[in-house]
Amino acid sequence: MVAALGVVFGDIGTSPLYAFKETLNPAHGVPLDRAAVLGLLSLVVWGLLLVVTLKYVVFVLRADQDGEGGILALQGLAREAVARGGGARWLFALVGALGLVGAAMFYGDSLITPAISVLSAVEGLEIATPVFKHYIVPITVAVLVGLFLVQRRGTAVVGRVFGPVMLLWFGVLAGSGLVQVAGNPQVLAALDPRWALRFLETHSAQSLAVLGAVFLAFTGGEALYADMGHFGARPIRMAWLFIALPALVLNYFGQGALVLADASAIDNPFFRLFPGWATVPVVLLAAAATVIASQAVISGAFSMTAHAMHMGYLPRMRVVQTSGQAIGQIYLPTVNWLLMAGVLLLVLAFRSSSGLSAAYGIAVSVTMLTTTLLAGIVALRRWRWNPVAVLLGTALFALVDLTFIVANSLKIAEGGWITLAVAGSVIFLFTTWSRGSRLSARATEEEGLPLEPFIQSLAADMPHRVQRTAVFLTSDTHSVPFALLHNLKHNQVLHERVVVLAVHTLPVPRVDVARRLRVQELGEGLWRVDAQNGFMETPNVPELVRQLAYQKGLPIEAMATSYFVSRTSIGSGRKVRGLGRLRSAVFASLQRNAGRASDYFHLPANGLIEIGRRAG
């Protein structure tokens, strides 16, 4: 439970820094009176109960794929359920589209969360003394730069203190709120949902704008599901029900009680909860909590990118394993620096958490809707729950999600367009690379030779054989690899042992070692090998070769093996058949800047031969 607090609840746990303050924003035109405060508190509390507790904690956490959670794992479950049930092609395509949209929206969240969380924490220094007012942005930038610089060291070093810090943070949230509630217990009336309904009825003209601010209180709900694979569903449920949820509710009620007693506290009700002497220590604790919240989404962006690469949505990038024990702890330099640049630009452009709140929410609300729809498909097709109950429940949660999407759409012109633009760009890249790769592979297959007849022709006129083993990496083990053809053409030799190897990524997190390799002997010292990996696993070809020797009995020595790969590039200005001119240019650029196969497949530099090919 404590460990889960340190990773899973960082985002939603720091929402009290800015969420309730934004619901009270005078720009909404809601008068600051008892009915309004109780209505806003009721909306926040019942949103936490319905959206986070009922939807995610009770239902969505059941949808694990080999223990893993997150939108791509949910997409895999839904696709598998549709395929088994013989679903229509449009439903299969819909599941794929929903997963892509949800994953792309996560990147928008990954930009906004570090910026708004750290900025809102540092803003607390203004409460201590106005002297800090002009230093808020520089301090925020320094904290964020430091955060991204230490990413290459991995989360293991700081992870040891994450849990205890967040436990202390939730204790401070609960204690500071409880003091105010004890002095003004009338705020507990907000537990009655009628206050929320009355507020929406009384302030119907402002309700959508206010709901966009209320939504900030549960923007970290998706992390509960995304990080399930690290801890399991039960510790997350226990930590939420017995620590995080009570602390959050008490703190929001405490802020409401304070505002009712002192209307001037509306400028920053969270930090006004504390006496002057405690402001600086609380700011430091809040900064630590927001760094943890930021770390969670940054690590999530690394994992999401690795999943997308393995599933064929993005080109290969350099992946650094930062832990010898935890396979999920990875670092992607390209993603890290792009995120840092985006986050710093947001801080410098908006310069306050209130300004950033306009850009926050739309991406998360869309992700929540995709989760609702995919979970409904899983419940209906995989779990075989009562169809009427599933459709009613999905419709109810989808209606709530759509309401928040509409509410957040009012903020598109004020900054919400940024996250939509980021998500749209990611979807464009995903679809361009996926389609371009398929079209390139299809063109290569059309030009290629079938493997079995090729081996028969070799037997009739065998070239000179040389010692050692040659492993030729390819995407299709039924065709002759391009590198094999050109090695024969230019060197006119064939190794004594030849392995034609393809590494396939399945829509499951991990593949059992016993089912990883499928081997077929083709004669003349050649073998066809299809290796299967899960999307949570990083392919390691030398390790696969060792498994071929130990498990399958192939006469291969790892130290006497050469690895052949081919690299196809699109000529500058060329158009890929089946892609538009813009997509062709983007695909060619991605292909030229893709990571080396040797890095992606962990191939040894002293045993690698790479053969290039220009297409188009």
Q: Is residue 48 part of a domain?
A: yes
Same domain, 139 and 178: yes
Q: Residue 321: is its pLDDT beyond 70?
A: no
pLDDT at 219 over 60: yes
Asked if the structure places residue 346 within a domain, the reply is: yes
Q: What's residue 574's pLDDT?
A: 63
Single-letter code of the amino acid located at 65: Q
Q: Is 443 part of a structural domain of the chain?
A: no
**What are 346-363's pLDDT values in tens digits?**
999 888 887 787 777 888
Q: Where are the alpha helices (DSSP H) in 351-496?
A: 353-357, 362-381, 387-409, 417-447, 451-460, 482-491
Q: Binning pLDDT at 50, 70 and 90, where does residue 223 land?
A: confident
Q: Are 443 and 615 in contact (CB under 8 A)?
A: yes
Residue 324 pLDDT > 70: no
Residues 221 and 285 placed together within one structural domain of the fold: yes
**Residue 516 placed within a domain:** yes
Q: Which helix (H) or strand (E) holds 534?
A: strand 526-534
Give the residue among 292, 353, 407 at the shortest CA–CA distance from 17. 353
Beta strands in 269-382 (DSSP E): 320-321, 330-331
Mean pLDDT of 107-123: 86
**Domain presence at residue 318:** yes
Give mean pLDDT, residues 362-370. Answer: 89
59 and 174 part of one domain: yes
Give the end of a domain, one of 380, 400, 434: 434
Is 94 contained in some domain? yes
Mutual orientation of helices 89-122 and 417-447 as an angle, nearest 10°? 140
Q: Nearest Cα to 367, choosing from 74, 588, 155? A: 74
Is residue 171 located within the same domain as residue 74? yes
Strand ordering across the sheet containing 561-570: 517-523, 526-534, 493-506, 464-473, 561-570, 608-615
What are the strands, taking DSSP E only, across 194-296?
none
* Domain count along the chain: 2
Co-location of 350 and 476 in the same domain: no
Q: Do 468 and 578 lie in a common domain?
A: yes
Same domain, 187 and 238: yes
Percent of the chain whose pLDDT exceeds 90: 35
Residues 6+ apart with CB under 8 A from 330: 302, 303, 306, 319, 320, 321, 322, 538
Q: Per-residue pLDDT for 329 more than 70?
A: no
Q: List pLDDT tens digits, range 371-413.
A: 999 999 999 989 999 999 999 999 999 999 999 999 888 888 8
Higher pLDDT, 181 or 160: 181
End residue of a domain, out of 434, 464, 497: 434
- In terms of Cα–Cα distance, which of 609, 585, 592, 537 is closest to 229? 537
The CATH number for 8's domain is 1.20.1740.10
Give the model's pLDDT for residue 575.
65
Q: Which residue has the higher pLDDT, 373 or 574?
A: 373
Q: Is residue 440 part of a domain?
A: no
Residues 418 and 471 occupy one common structural domain? no
- The Cα 217–Cα 45 span in angstroms is 9
Residues 413 and 486 in one domain: no
pLDDT value at 160 more than 70: no
Domain end, chosen from 406, 434, 462, is at 434
Distance CA 83, CA 421 (A): 32
Instruction: Give the range of the structural domain holding residue 194, as residue numbers without chain letter.
Output: 2-434
What's the whole-number mean pLDDT along residues 161-179?
A: 91
Residue 444 within any structural domain of the chain: no
Q: Domain check: are 410 and 549 in the same one?
A: no
Residues 62 and 133 reside in one and the same domain: yes
| 382 plus 513 within the same structural domain | no
- Residue identified by tokens 């013989």 is 86
